[in-house]
A and B are shown apart, each in its own frame.
Chain A
Amino acid sequence: MIMILVLAVPCGDVPVDFSRDIQPILSSHCFVCHGPDEGTRKRDLRLDLDQIVGAERGVLVPGDPESSELIQRISHVDPLKRMPPAEEADDLTSSEIELLTRWVKEGAVYQQHWAFLDLTSQPPDAVGDQEWARNPIDGFVNEQLQRQGIEPSPEADRATLIRRLSFDLCGMPPTPEEVEAFMEDSSPMAYERLVDRLLASPAFGERMALAWMDAARYGDTSVHHADGPRDMWPWRDWVIRAYNENMPFDQFTIEQLAGDLLPDPSLDQLVASGFHRNTPTSDEGGAIDEELRVKYMVDRVKTTGNVWLGLSVECAQCHDHKYDPFTMKDYYSLYAYFNQSVEKGFQTRSGNERPLVSIPTSDQAVLLDSLAESLRLTELFLAEAQPPAEELDAWGRSERDALLKSKRPSLGPWHSLGPFGGKDKPFAYNTDHGPEAIKVDLTLEVAGLSWQSRATDKDGQVHLLNLPNNSAQYLFRTIESECAQSVKLSLGSDDSIKVFLNGAAVFANDVGRGAALNQDQVSLSLPEGKSQLMLKIVNGGGASGYAFEMLGSGLPEPVVEALGLEVAERDTVAQEALKSYFIRAVWPPGKEKVEAREAIMREQNRVNASVPTVMIMDDLPKGRQTYVLARGQYDGPRMDQPVEPQVPEHIFPARSGQPGNRLGLARWLMDPGHPLTARVTVNRYWTMLFGRGLVPSVMDFGSQGERPSHPSLLDWLALDFIQSDWNVKRCLKQMVTSATYRQSSWIKPEALARDPDNQLLGRASRFRLNAEFIRDQALSVSGLLVDKVGGPGVKPYQPKGLWNEVSLDGGLRFARDSGEKLYRKSMYIYWKRSAPHPGMTAFDTPTRDVCVVQRQRTNTPMQALVSLNDVQFVEAARNLAQRVILAEGDFDSRLDLAFMLCTAHPADQLRREVMQMTYAAQRKVFEADPESAQALLALGDSPLDETLNPGEHAAWTVLASMIQNLDETLTRE
């Protein structure tokens, strides 16, 4: 049975309201052809602007429906003349036609879309039961209830209230002690004190961060192609802290959208700016850099629009918006704020991509400081050293002679050996497959392979090698020099490269890239005579190749210049150049220091590599010109349509003096006069607490979205939020201390028919807990939960094979964690976005590859399979069973404890009866078949209390699993 409660349809004496009654009709039936989109507009007629009223064309004649062409056409008897045309949309219904007619009769007054109007403070009419009301929210709610003749529901019992509050504010069930304490607290302040305690709990920040992670499309992997790992958890931990410290929402927003642009930003503000680095990125080999880069910017515009404006603007990426006055130019002006980023399109598949910031632990910070000091001392030595003058002069003479003879070394033809395969790329790269440390003889086989000639390879070109994935190939040639001298090589490779000279490694670069000229430069110190030069090219995947070219002398340019001069002609600059080079590259004590310096730097790199980093935002210093992109395509910039960063002023005008960057955008969003930000935000909080938004289309405050059920309440909450300096905890407290929130969620039979969706708020909502809360509750009541805040993602139990069945190359295996990490809160589960944890997604956790502001809430058999069969839940049931057995008392008191833990209520007669019957039957089953009991009790890593009777323990495990699966356990009532 579907019944829609229609709120306040104007009948008789109530005047027609444009934005409530008329705009939805025009929007869904007319705007596609007669609206904001120039591309699809017909007959140059716009019905979305009030200029049409009374205009010469006679489309809308105020007060005179008979003369208004619009009214004539929508009710025309001739189907060919009737609007809208049959092939475009359906006929209007008679009530829609009547509404439009009355609207014209009443003057055809246009109003701006409700969500773009200023917030208004309008107190509720003083109607109804004043005693019921606890705060102003209730006045607004009661006003509508009274008008519809509906009584509010009675207050829920205390146990229900504390469980409801605990989940809503902290994502956790209350302990039995907390329930009892609350029930016994007869103070009139008891409820408020409970709310304050929960808002002050560290779990509050985690609960709020969870919702924000969906909106921010947070993940531990990059999404596209290899979906490789990344570390954004320091950003997530910043969010938890910000909520716990009750950071005002304007600061919370500004630091996340533009923390990097604040004057002299703190480390925390830089970390906060990582919000928009949660964007999915790609490492796909054949991708076009700009195509990817544009994709990232588009995602940022979309996310910003969804989260703060409650608008979807992305259709204006390709064409003017069909329903809202949002043009392509508006879109690209918004896009221009983000288009300044220094990021490239093609990003890494392993770890964080620049720009990023390091967040060292205190130990790491001490170590890095001491390394920096050693480095400083070494540099100081090199700067101040005085080598023996005679050695310096002798070296200078010899190099000058070689230079004047200008004998470039001669190169032999290339030969190749390989490929040598390996289980993975590191193996192929790190292993000496035979020739690396030997004197090469081209006539001899190495590891069963012989050298092949590649005499036709020309220097200065990219040559493809056709290597299998994860394999290495060696390339060999001789290099002969008439005297000892330095030469420089210019190299390219796909992917990694090593260079060997006479059996010693002289250069290595482990990278993933496509081959091009001059990607690396290497200096070789050649002895006199013939040397052996060898390259090792390692292919990680896809194409492979190399490029080689010998440049001139390996000496730096200033040294060559100085050597070109007679000794007497050398000025101090030239002398200094020679001396400096000699100390670092030739003189043994200096070379030692150079090596020491390299060792320090290696150590610094090693430490730095273990220091967590987080990706942050950073803009190009000189900016980037943005153009409207034809059809939204990266390769279609309209050079005749350059745009500058600019906010959509038809929503809210920009204040002068704000910077034309993300900081300006963030401040515009958080301007106290902005009509959308506060409405959208309080509506999101309301949805979290009431299960349904005051504006049910939480992601759409545009003209196609739904209108608020309680417009004055929405505005009151929004204004209060702004006037309290965006105080999040205060806003939530207002909501949960209202009588509206405290109602029972039981549905009166007549309410089910009259108001199934609870639009009027005549009761509290009853809804299934989030995926995370269901698992966390099981862990908490069983005593397994490891309640530690923050840190890298964890990998608890999941079925085998889920990663490698979809991963690139099929080789990526999920490695399950053990110990504490199995029992952390679910929000910390490592979020691999191409294969997210199936126990979570079954209960509607989004994949998080796009911004989601409101989760689905479904009810499926897959959910039953998870909470009945997943080892995580079975193990939790076993531990809950153990907990209640170890509690002193008889069956009934144990059962009460289990029910108190899971539902905050003791078992009633029926529950006791069901559980007793099941228990008796299961004791028999497990005593007759002790192996079954053992098998059940063996599940999960946590230790088993061997002192318990296995039959009793297994039977209680069955009961615990049943209680975990009751509707009242899975539901927040």
Chain B
Amino acid sequence: MMDPLFNHRRLSTRRNLLGRSTTGLGALALSSLLGENVLANATAGDRFKTVPHYAPRAKRVIYLFMSGGPSQIDLFDYKPAMQEFHGQELPESIRQGQRLTTMTSGQSTFPCVAPMFEFKRHGRHQTWVSELLPHTAKIVDEICLIKSMNTEAINHDPAITYINTGSQQPGKASMGSWLSYGLGSMNRNLPDYVVMISRGKGNLQALYARLWGSGFLPSQHQGVKFRSGADPVLYLANPEGIDPATRRRMLDGIERINRAKLAQTNDPEIEARISQYEMAYRMQTSVPDLMDLSDEPDSTFELYGEEARKPGTYAANCVLARRMAERDVRFIQLFHRGWDGHNNLPREIRGQCKDTDQASAALLVDLKRRGLLDDTLLIWGGEFGRTIYSQGNLTKTNHGRDHHGRCFSTWIAGAGVRAGHEHGQTDDFSYNITRDPVHINDLNATILQQLGIDHQRFTYPYQGLDQRLTGVEGARVVNGILA
């Protein structure tokens, strides 16, 4: 056997117990504390220490999710041949009758569009990067650029649900909630899974609670949204007129009465509730501390950009992501909206890059500087890419690009990832993959592996099935992107 710790049956017995014991008694009640590691800290000793399956390389993940589908053609997947093909019809030998969205499937022509932006080689490995990403260009030696990402979905709702939950249909658990469930927390004062949303200036696609939801997993594992403003976590602040001393007095009184009730009824759920009220109280201090950037030196804002001083921006969220990583939040997910360039791609993508490039690169530099990159996975990518052909009229200054799931670019860095590597290749039209395809489930399987989890053995029984994040089609770990 590969791993002495591997014991699938025990794991599933344990999961059976957790998944199906719904009265909340016993182990589930005691471990339902946010901040308790459901699996690894179970009180029954090492019997259930099966996750992680092997020594993890990463302790935490920061996922910079670019909602809407950034154009790989204009950012990373440089195709010099397109200068020649610009304005010419996409050859049928490339398109091969593959399905298109109905936004462009009725178009009479499919003229190829060369990027309107200059590409240059950067770093030791001479990686091509667009002029739109001057800061990312400086960190190319630190990242692994995957040019052969792919997904079957061709529209936003199914695609973004797919990459975040492993299924195009709603109802499944998101990646962050899987990790919260499996690995538990490393911090007793903050949630395991935090989500932050920022909006760009491009075409905004919808997001949905299910993208960070827990699906069939116990709902304490769902992502907690952190927001700018007075209540960084919903309902965090005391009501007006209730000062901290009053709140403390209230909680002390509630606890005394709850303890009496516990003595009377022996219901372990009461013990759990007492702990949860204390955790809520601690969060009232720990979260505002986390969100308050006033203790950041000016150098932080030089690194991330002045935008980072403005709460709610992508740049500010990147600084917060680093602060959360320092405090050992397990899974930190930023959603930045506006990458859906159907009509005015050149103008919109310029704005999107301006909003995100410096802060994304800064986050990597900052993590590295603080020694956090060694055990943090940092991922940048969207739900799909965009077409080489123009959607709508192609003019000298404007064009659009439709959704393209057959290939797109994502980068990943940190914990055990092969830095300075380009993985996979596409044809001259950035239309089909010609080498080393990486399905979105493959990437998710690889992320799990870096966290010490075998994605095939990481299951949860629900409705008679062993559910897993990476689906039933057989995802595989992409060893090529690992050091």
Chain A positions near chain B (C-beta within 8 angstroms):
1-4, 28, 86, 89-90, 93, 223-227, 280, 282, 284-289, 295, 298-299, 306, 311-312, 315, 318, 323-324, 461-462, 464-469, 514-516, 542-544, 635, 691-692, 696-697, 699-700, 702-706, 745-749, 752, 756-758, 765-768, 799, 801, 805-810, 833-836, 838-839, 841-842, 844, 847, 849-850, 854, 856-866, 868-871, 874, 910-911, 914-915, 917-918, 921-922, 925, 932-939, 954, 958, 961-962, 965-968, 970-971, 973
Smallest distance from the beta carbon of A869 to chain B beta carbons, Å? 4
B461–chain A nearest beta-carbon distance, Å:
7
Cα distance A968–B108 when bound, in Å? 68
B370 at the interface (CB under 8 A from A): no
Q: Are A227 and B266 closer than 8 Å at their CB atoms?
A: no
Which of chain B's residues have a CB closer than 8 A to the CB of A925?
243, 245-246
A287 touches B207 (CB 8 A): no
Binds A, one of B57-65, B254-262, B431-439: B254-262
Determine the chain A residues whose CB is within 8 A of the CB of B462 once the complex forms: 699
* Interface residues on chain B, size class: 35 or more
Can you name 10 A-B pairs with beta carbons within 8 Å? A466-B400, A516-B106, A543-B391, A747-B267, A752-B266, A756-B25, A860-B32, A936-B239, A937-B241, A958-B250
Judge whether B393 and A466 touch: CB under 8 Å.
yes
- Chain A residues with CB under 8 Å of B17's CB are 2, 4
- Given the known interface contacts A514-B102, A745-B265, A962-B250, the answer about A461 and B108 at a Cβ–Cβ threshold of 8 Å is yes
Is the Cβ of A284 less than 8 Å from the Cβ of B156? yes
CA distance A224 to B108 in the complex (A): 29
Given contact pairs A90-B7, A745-B267, A939-B240, a sample of 11 additional A-B residue pairs in the complex whose CB atoms are under 8 Å apart: A2-B42, A287-B102, A469-B343, A767-B269, A849-B210, A858-B219, A859-B32, A861-B279, A864-B280, A914-B256, A932-B240
B241 touches A869 (CB 8 A): no
Partner of A847, one of B23, B27, B213, B256: B213
B-chain residues with CB within 8 Å of residue A323 when the two chains form the complex: 464
Counting from the closest, the 3 A-B pairs by CB-CB distance are A286-B101, A936-B241, A312-B463
User: When chains A and B are docked, how far (Å) is the Cα of A449 from the Cα of B236?
Assistant: 51
* Contact assessment for A285 and B102 in the assembled complex, using a CB-CB cutoff below 8 Å: yes
Could you tell me the distance in whole angstroms from the C-beta of B423 to the nearest C-beta in chain A? 27
Q: Would you list which residues of chain B between 264 and 304 have a CB under 8 Å from chain A?
A: 264-270, 272-273, 276-277, 279-280, 283
Between B34, B238, B242, B461, the greatest number of chain A beta carbons within 10 A of the residue's beta carbon is seen for B242
Shortest CB distance B271–A (Å) = 10
B463 touches A700 (CB 8 A): yes
A722 to chain B, nearest CB (A): 25
Known A286-B402, A295-B169, A961-B250; contact A542-B103, beta-carbon cutoff 8 A: yes
Contact, CB under 8 Å: B241 / A699:
no
Which B residues from 67 to 126 make CB contacts under 8 A with A? 99, 101-104, 106-108
> When the two chains form the complex, which single residue of B1, B264, B391 contacts A746, counting CB atoms closer than 8 Å?
B264
Contacts of B344 in A (CB 8 A): 468
| Chain A residues with CB under 8 A of B42 | 2
User: B472 near A318 (CB under 8 angstroms)?
Assistant: yes
In angstroms, Cα B392 to Cα A312, docked, is 44
List the B side residues contacting A922 at CB < 8 Å. 246, 249
Q: A799-B234, A874-B239 are in contact. Are A1 and B26 (CB under 8 A)?
A: yes
**Bound Cα distance from A553 to B260, whole angstroms:** 90
Secondary structure call for the B interface: loop
Q: A768 CA to B235 CA in the complex, in Å?
A: 20
In the bound complex, CA of A324 to CA of B99 (Å): 35
Q: Which residue of A lies closest to B161 (CB)?
A: A224
Q: Check: B55 CB closer than 8 A to any chain A CB.
A: no
Given A285-B103, A806-B206: A3 and B239 interface contact (C-beta under 8 Å)? no
Task: Tell me the chain B residues, 376-421 only, with Cβ under 8 Å from chain A.
Answer: 391-393, 398, 400, 402-403
CB-nearest residue of chain A relative to B30?
A1
List which B1-29 residues lie within 8 A (CB) of chain A.
1, 7-10, 12, 17, 20-27, 29
Expressed in whole angstroms, the minimum distance between the Cβ of A293 and any Cβ of chain B is 13
B218 at the interface (CB under 8 A from A): yes
Q: Which B residues from 189 to 227 make CB contacts under 8 A with A?
A: 197, 199, 203-210, 213, 218-220, 222, 224, 227
A228 to chain B, nearest CB (A): 10
Closest residue on chain A to residue B102 by CB atoms: A286
> Are B267 and A766 neighbours in the complex by a CB distance under 8 Å?
yes
Task: Please report the C-alpha to C-alpha distance between residue A4 and residue B219 in the assembled complex, in whole angstroms.
Answer: 24
Q: Do B26 and A869 touch (CB < 8 A)?
A: no
Neighbour of A89 across the interface among B9, B104, B156, B224, CB < 8 A: B9
Instruction: Give A460 Cβ to nearest chain B Cβ, in Å.
Output: 12
- Give the residues in chain A near B22, CB-CB below 8 Å: 691-692, 696, 854, 856-857
Known: A844-B219, A910-B256. A227 touches B464 (CB 8 A): no
Given the contacts A746-B265, A810-B337, A288 and B106 also touching, CB distance less than 8 Å:
no
The reply to whether B257 and A911 form a contact with Cβ atoms under 8 Å apart is yes
Residue in B44, B102, B219 whose Cβ sees the most chain A Cβ within 10 Å: B219
Question: Which has the most chain A C-beta neighbours within 10 Å: B213, B239, B272, B465?
Answer: B239
Q: Which residues of B contact A299 (CB under 8 A)?
A: 169
Contact B246 A958 (CB under 8 A): yes
A697 to B17, CA, bound (A): 11
Closest to B270 in A: A967
Q: Give every chain B residue within 8 A of A703 (Cβ-Cβ).
A: 464
Q: How far is the CA of A938 from the CA of B392 in the complex (A)?
A: 55
Chain B residues near A871 (CB-CB < 8 A): 239
Does A288 lie within 8 Å of B170, measured CB to CB?
Answer: no
Q: Which residues of B contact A93 (CB under 8 A)?
A: 9
Contact of B342 among A223, A543, A748, A971 (CB under 8 A): A543
Which residues of chain B are near A967, meaning CB under 8 Å?
257-258, 261-262, 269-270, 273
Closest to A318 in B: B472
Is A857 a contact of B24 with CB atoms below 8 Å?
A: yes
Report chain B residues within 8 Å CB of A805: 197, 199, 207, 227
Are A934 and B241 in touch, CB under 8 angstroms? yes
- Min CB distance A695 to B, Å, is 10
Please give me the residue from chain B that is nearest to A853 by CB atom: B463
The A-contacting residues of B in range 316-356, CB under 8 angstroms, are 337, 342-344
Residue of B nearest to A93 (CB): B9
| Contacting pair A932 B241 (CB below 8 A) | yes
Known contacts A1-B43, A286-B102, A315-B465, A225 near B241 by CB under 8 Å? no
B171 CB within 8 Å of chain A? yes
Q: Which of A1, A227, A704, A965 has a CB less than 8 Å from the CB of B254?
A: A965
Q: Point out the residues of chain B lying under 8 angstroms from A1, CB to CB.
A: 26-27, 43-44
The residues in B between 160 and 197 inclusive whose CB is less than 8 angstroms from any CB of A are 169-171, 197
Min CB–CB distance A310 → chain B (angstroms) = 10
Write out the residue numbers on chain B whose beta carbons fall within 8 Å of the beta carbon of A227.
206, 208
Residues of chain A lying within 8 A (CB to CB) of residue B12: 28
Q: Which residues of A contact B222 (CB under 8 A)?
A: 841
Q: Is the CB of B240 within 8 A of A464?
A: no
B residues within 8 A CB of A289?
102
* Contact in complex: A862, B224 (CB < 8 Å): yes
Q: Is B231 an interface residue (CB 8 A)?
A: yes
Residue in B32, B203, B209 whose beta carbon sits within 8 Å of that of A835 in the complex: B209
Q: Which of B24, B32, B237, B391 interacts with A767 by CB under 8 Å? A: B24
Tell me if B472 and A700 are in contact (CB < 8 A): no
Q: Is B475 an interface residue (CB 8 A)?
A: no
Q: Is the CB of A2 within 8 A of B43?
A: yes
Which residues of A are found within 8 Å of B246, using beta-carbon distances? 922, 925, 958
Name the distance in Å between A871's Cβ and chain B's nearest Cβ.
7
Residue contact B26 to A757, C-beta cutoff 8 Å: yes
B residues in contact with A704, CB < 8 Å: 461, 464-465
In angstroms, Cα B280 to Cα A863, docked, is 9
CB distance from B107 to the nearest CB of A (A): 7
Distance between Cα atoms of A861 and B187 in the complex (Å): 14
Chain A residues in 8 Å Cβ range of B463: 306, 312, 699-700
In the complex, residue of chain B having the shortest beta-carbon distance to the beta carbon of A703: B464
Query: Is A747 within 8 A of B265, CB to CB?
Result: yes
Q: B236: nearest residue on chain A (CB-CB)? A: A865
The reply to whether A865 and B280 form a contact with Cβ atoms under 8 Å apart is yes
